Amino acid sequence: MNFTKNISLFLTLLFIFFVKATEPFISFAKTENSMVLKERNLGLMLFSDSDSDKGILRAVANLQSDFQKVTGVQPELISQNSGMNGMVIIIGEAGKSKTIDALIRQKKLDGKALTGKREKYIIQNVSNPFPGVSEAIVIAGSDKRGTIYGIYEMSKQIGVSPWYYWADVPVEKKENVYFKKGLYTDGEPAVEYRGIFLNDEEPSLGGWARATFGGVNSKFYEKVFELILRLKGNYIWPAMWGKAFYDDDHLSGPLANEMGIVMGTSHHEPMALAQTDWHRYIKKK
């Protein structure tokens, strides 16, 4: 899609994140303190426990796609820690991932950096995480959203903008990708709820959504939710001009829950009941 020509000004974005920027940890030239993440003759694997949260696995699949956009090669997704060949990124949520918890017990990760924290991630290299694996990179989150933010921080640093879809930001191809050894985090967000509302969505956004997705439905919101998460947000007030988020598409609510998005009401409609719900179901006397 072409954001500028076709649907300019379709979203009013009120992102107030107050999240510190993470120090750069990706480079495209080898240095003394870097480890190979992807080279021409070395494959990359993404490891996550098979019973990981569905929202985390969705973000892992997006990271897989993002690496393919950058390098032209799709990493393998694995959930078994044997028979590995190549660099591994281990991804999981502390307290729920048996793999991440094992690394914490072995003192390879600092559990205190994650336990009891809100929406925090750490990204670091570790030695000997699995038998036969001398070194790996770990993305570990304090909770579901923290893990997802860590995944998308990796995507952003390898060169995939959060706006790759909505603003057609091009992805620069890279044959080699390297990780600067160390521990990286942007800590906990200073503001608990950070997000957007969809304002004046008709006719521009609504017309485009109907032409592209068949409506302002779960397929449309999947793209909006992904953008919010890539920007380390967590909240949305949905569209309301002739629309009812939960009623228009019964998959939208479960999708928000799966992806880790907190749903507010439309920006001027309290009690989770859009005016459209009222018009549809309340009979006037």
Tens digit of pLDDT for each residue in 44-77?
A: 999 999 999 999 999 999 999 999 999 999 999 9
228/145 Cα distance (integer angstroms): 11
The partner residues of 139 in beta bridges, in order of sequence, read 91, 123
Q: Tokens at residue 38, please?
A: 């992807």
Mean pLDDT of 4-27: 55
Q: What percent of the chain has pLDDT over 90?
A: 76
Mean pLDDT of 81-105: 92
148/229 Cα distance (integer angstroms): 7
pLDDT of the residue at 13: 42
pLDDT exceeds cutoff 90 at 8: no
Mean pLDDT of 266-279: 75
**Strand 195-197's sheet: what is its strand order?**
195-197, 235-237, 262-263
182/124 Cα distance (integer angstroms): 6
Residue with tokens 């790996």: 136
For the chain, what is the mean pLDDT?
Answer: 90
pLDDT of the residue at 274: 75
pLDDT exceeds cutoff 50 at 10: no
Q: What is the DSSP letter of 33?
A: T
Over residues 238-259, the pLDDT tens digits come to 998 889 999 999 999 999 999 9
pLDDT of the residue at 6: 36
pLDDT exceeds cutoff 50 at 3: no
Where along the chain do its domains lie?
21-184, 195-281
pLDDT of the residue at 285: 59
Q: How confident is the model at residue 18 (pLDDT cuts 50, 70, 90)?
A: very low
Contact present, 129 and 139 (Cβ < 8 Å): no
Contact present, 238 and 263 (Cβ < 8 Å): yes
Find the helix packing angle between 204-213 and 218-230, rounded to 10°: 110
Task: For 62-130, give the DSSP string.
Answer: HHHHHHHHHHSSPPEEE--SSS--SEEEEEEETTT-HHHHHHHHTTSS-GGGTTT-SS-EEEEEEEEEE
Q: What is the CATH number of domain 21-184?
A: 3.30.379.10
Burial of 72 (0-12, 13-18, 19+ CB in 10 A): exposed
51/16 Cα distance (integer angstroms): 33
> Among residues 125, 123, 180, which one has the least CA distance to residue 146?
123
Residue with tokens 């091009």: 170
Q: How confident is the model at residue 11 (pLDDT cuts 50, 70, 90)?
A: very low
- Look at strands 177-180 and 87-93 and give their pairing: unpaired
